[in-house]
Amino acid sequence: MTHSTRSPSNILIFDSGIGGLSIADEVTRALPQHPIVYIADNRLYPYGIQPDNALLARAKTLFPTLESHYQPAIIIIACNSASTLILDEVRAITQTPVIGVVPAIKPAADITQTGQMGLLATKGTISRQYTADLIAEFASHHKITKIGSDILVSQAERKLHGYIIEEALIEKELAPIITNSAIDTIILGCTHFPLIKQEIQNTLGNRVHLIDSGEAIARRTTHILSISNQQLPPTSPPPTHTFIFTAENNQVSKLTPALHTRGFFTIKIGNH
């Protein structure tokens, strides 16, 4: 562990893979002066098909370790599959403010004209009680077509690793939405999906509005840093962002251009 990753102004962003970069993009737009430590838990990727007990056990050991190693000002669980399951647990075992990313059901329910929406997420997120509760609270009168897809997750990974996206696969996954012309709003309930937003929009056409949680998370992060007096002045020198995998990864060089573009110049294996 290098000393430079320890900084009280660090924002720790966590996901199973590269999906949390869609959240990092919004956070760095809102708070360009704050250093980000990004943890990609590739040891257990993909989270969306892991049994609940595996994710809970992982959270119990991993988050206290990450908290003490990196001493972040804030932890963002930039993974819907994780947040819908482990958020309370992580809050209970850490002292740092924790923000969870969960499907943007309420904003979508507020804007749909037809009352018909699509929820694109992982199989895990689709099946969670947390998600059912969000729907019951904010969209009980709406009709929601749910698609749990690990194929879309892997397509987003492919894209950021510089591989060609398989559009036919995306089309196949989205068939229940393509064939229902009453759906006008789609919730991107997995942080990987904003990274292939254009491809999803091209497949569905402009009749549908795509909603994700990124901007709301950036606003919440700004608010928490500001009320806890941890927001750095905008004039602070540009930070270096750090990207850490939890296990060996032979694809790192493929991902490097996408990380460099986003200001992640320290890339390493953390062995967490």
**Which residues sit at the interface with ligand DGL, rule CB under 6 A?**
15-17, 19, 45-48, 79-81, 122, 125, 150, 153, 190-192
Instruction: Say how far apart CA 58 and CA 52 lie, in whole Å.
Output: 10
**Peptide bond connecting 46 to the previous residue in cis, omega within 30 degrees of 0:** yes
Annotated active-site residue in 18, 39, 190, 210: 190
Which lies closer to ligand DGL via its Cβ, residue 9 or residue 165? Answer: 165
Which lies closer to ligand DGL via its Cβ, residue 190 or residue 267? Answer: 190
What angle is formed at CA 82 by the lines to CA 80 and CA 83, rounded to 5 degrees?
65
Instruction: Say how far apart CA 194 and CA 211 lie, in whole Å.
Output: 9
Please report how close the Cβ of residue 86 comes to ligand DGL at its closest, in angstroms.
Answer: 12
Closest CA to 211 of 93, 77, 130, 121: 121
Please report how close the Cβ of residue 113 comes to ligand DGL at its closest, in angstroms.
Answer: 27
Annotated active-site residue in 66, 79, 102, 121: 79
Please report how close the Cβ of residue 191 comes to ligand DGL at its closest, in angstroms.
Answer: 4
- Is residue 241 a contact partner of residue 265, using CB atoms and an 8 Å limit? yes
Q: Is 79 a catalytic residue?
A: yes
Instruction: Say how far apart CA 79 and CA 96 lie, in whole Å.
Output: 18
Please report how close the Cβ of residue 101 comes to ligand DGL at its closest, in angstroms.
Answer: 6
Q: Is 64 a catalytic residue?
A: no
β-strands 74-77, 11-15 pairing? parallel
Closest CA to 82 of 190, 205, 163, 208: 190
Please report how close the Cβ of residue 123 comes to ligand DGL at its closest, in angstroms.
Answer: 8
Instruction: Say how far apart CA 73 and CA 116 lie, in whole Å.
Output: 39
Which lies closer to ligand DGL via its Cβ, residue 81 or residue 231? Answer: 81
Chain centre to alpha carbon of residue 223? 19
The strand ranges marked E within 78-142 are 98-100, 116-121
Which lies closer to ligand DGL via its Cβ, residue 16 or residue 203? Answer: 16
Catalytic residues: 79, 190
